[in-house]
Structure 1
């Protein structure tokens, strides 16, 4: 069992390295298996195709960044729910600012829907912890779990999409100039009263 996990991990690390430096389109499965030093058939034991391994990588990056952002927020808790969410957004944006190659690789795929599919997976239990803390936070009393989920969806999607567009393409402006505008929008979204 451990050998199987090592082979899978080797494939993931190989694909990550190649996607990061060559790009998704320019990387072949043959290159991934050669770099991982496994047989081509081994790839198909774990992944359907190149897109499947990319989704796996993006999921892990998204989960790690969200977990680190949440941990950072907990360590720097402002006592204000909305400002704590801004801390999370700022952490995500700063992470991608420092890791432009990772952002280029994941493009606009840093996404909550992808993560939602894996909430029942034990290795991503921290995401359930984040959701549970939001669902039970007094600030969001009066919001249904579905509304809270949608709030998180909008915020995560905004952060991912604006990070990509502003950091990689400098559009419509640099990320530093976009941050105040984005954070103001997030504050307005979160301060809106439940319907």
Structure 2
């Protein structure tokens, strides 16, 4: 990577770091592009060389942090003896939610904004710093590591699991509302198993 390219990457990283700090502190809606660039110490015009708006920054940040979480979950899964595909998915979901529970500020940020489309949108812009970990590639690798499992519309299956887990876990983990997450977990797991079963192709 040349010096010019390294400088571009460094500025983009500063903008992402600045935005993340501000999003956590005051929320996305109250954060302006001017706030982000001022905090990053770069000119406002520089922002638009990398991002269309603050929502694209949000999408990249979520893809980045979700990717790190998912990689950690996959590494933990490799140490477990879970030969069944649906048990592997359940493990990944529970591990990720437990890790988010240890970092409430990240849970607050991700759970309010996480959606399937974000992963696709964040990868559409080649000029942006790409996530160190691509969640979709890891998911595809997991499917391919289970050759006996045949899924109908695996992308839709993942979309439904992400939407379900992110929507029901937020208040239970952060506020024990309406019940603590540990009481909710068995029902969440059953619902995820049901989603998986509905997408299994049987001969």
Same fold (TM over 0.5): yes
Count how many residue pairs are aligned between Structure 1 and Structure 2.
192
Which structure 2 segments of 5+ residues have no match?
A: none
User: In the alignment, which of 176, 188, 193 is matched to residue 194 of structure 2?
Assistant: 188
**d(CA) in 1 for partners of 2:125, 2:51:** 20
Name the structure 2 match of 1:114. 118
Name the structure 2 match of 1:14. 18
User: In the alignment, which of 92, 101, 104 is matched to residue 105 of structure 2?
Assistant: 101
User: Normalising by the residue count of structure 2, what TM-score does the alignment of the two structures yield?
Assistant: 0.82
The 5 A counterparts of 1:116-155 are 116-117=120-121, 118=123, 124-125=133-134, 127-135=136-144, 137-141=146-150, 143-144=151-152, 146=153, 148-155=154-161
Kept in 2, the 8 Å contact 1:96–1:163? The answer is: no
With over 3 angstroms needed to count, the CA separation of the structure-2 counterparts of 1:126 and 1:89, relative to structure 1, is closer
Please, what is the CA RMSD of the aligned residues? 2.5
Name the structure 2 match of 1:172. 178
**d(CA) in 1 for partners of 2:148, 2:102:** 32
Structure 1 or 2: more helix by fraction:
1
User: Normalising by the residue count of structure 1, what TM-score does the alignment of the two structures yield?
Assistant: 0.85
Name the structure 2 match of 1:41. 45
Kept in 2, the 8 Å contact 1:110–1:160? The answer is: yes
**d(CA) in 1 for partners of 2:172, 2:38:** 35
Which structure 1 segments of 5+ residues have no match?
A: none
